[in-house]
A = this chain, B = another copy of it.
Amino acid sequence: MVLFGPSLYGPLRHVSQFHKHAAGAELNFTVGLGRLGLRCGLITRVGRDEFGQYILACMRAEGIDTALVREEETHPTGVYFKEYRGLGDPRVYYYRRGSAASSMSPEDIDPECLNGARLIHLTGITPALSATCRETCLALLRLAEGLGIAVSFDPNIRLGTLHDVETARDSMMPFISRSHLLLLNEFECELLFGSSELAAIMDEVFDAGPRIVAVKMGSRGSLAAARSDRVIHFAEPFKTPRYVDPVGAGDGFDAGFVYGYLNNLPIDGCMRAGNLVGALATTVTGDYEGYPFLRDVAGAVASGGSEIRR
């Protein structure tokens, strides 16, 4: 999606200038992993319009494989606007109903597309876009299962887009149950499992399917546990020289955590890499621009995170 960030704080009615960024949970995640040196691709659709070209350009700039991105003639590329409020986190205004991404369908999935892949990442956003999107995600899951590819899942539930808790839970469970890694925040813990405390819900989570669960707690760091030993680990937040806005931090955490997982870091290393990427996201106005490049944080992430606390 294309994100338009405001030039001023406060209600958008008063804002006259907006700055264009590329953004969106899945794109963010891919950029985060790509910057850390992993080869990634994205399966999605963009409009055959200037904003679609912009998204493709941003992906190519980051070295992301665009072979599976389809240009859609009759649906536009989705856009959204960010608003900085005096109360709570930024609010976002979406224009993605009927967007190209929402028109994705199972036929977009080439059976070869996961050949050689080690992990697929899904969020709860895509299946919620449309019925065909949901089918596409489920088809991907089945394909991954068949190939023995690991799955990471982030429910990515936004308060503003949530209509009904029961429905949300029901629609998420098929994805959660087939995930190896479940990456969520406290609000989602509460919503899906009835408590924001990892200790309280860990057993239920592991019974549902995932082998590893990580809980993102924003400026308070993160918690995680593996089904194998059910020990809860805590990783301190990464300190940054400024805090601009939290959007993109959750996706960045996912990317850092998955980076660690694919590099066989211990769970603490995964968490620290997650905290690092997530924290850096908060130092800029865009979603992913602040994510680190491997050359800048190589020592930190290679060491299982022990060097990244400075």
Contact = CB atoms under 8 A, between A and B. Distances in A.
A292 B87 CA distance: 9
B8 A284 contact: yes
Size category, A interface: 35 or more
Contact of A50 (B83, B87, B290): B83
A130 to B, nearest CB: 12
Nearest to A280: B86
A304 interface: no
A97 B78 CA distance: 12
Interface in A237-263: 240-242, 244
Interface string A45-79: 00001110110111011110000000000001001
A12 interface: yes
B88 A283 contact: no
Interface stretch (A15-23, A202-210, A266-274): A15-23
A98 to B, nearest CB: 5
Interface string A17-43: 111110000000000000000000000
A285 B20 contact: no
A289 B14 contact: yes
Contact of A297 (B4, B15, B53, B87): B87
Interface in A284-307: 284-286, 289-290, 292-293, 296-297
A17 B14 contact: no
A18 B20 contact: yes
Contacts of A81: 51
B19 A16 contact: yes
A48 B207 CA distance: 42
- The 6 A-B residue pairs whose C-beta atoms are closest, nearest first, are A57-B61, A12-B50, A86-B283, A10-B284, A86-B280, A60-B60
26 contacts: A8-B19, A8-B284, A9-B244, A10-B283, A10-B285, A11-B53, A12-B51, A13-B53, A13-B57, A14-B21, A14-B284, A16-B16, A16-B17, A17-B18, A18-B19, A51-B93, A57-B62, A58-B61, A60-B63, A76-B95, A86-B280, A86-B284, A86-B290, A86-B292, A87-B296, A88-B310
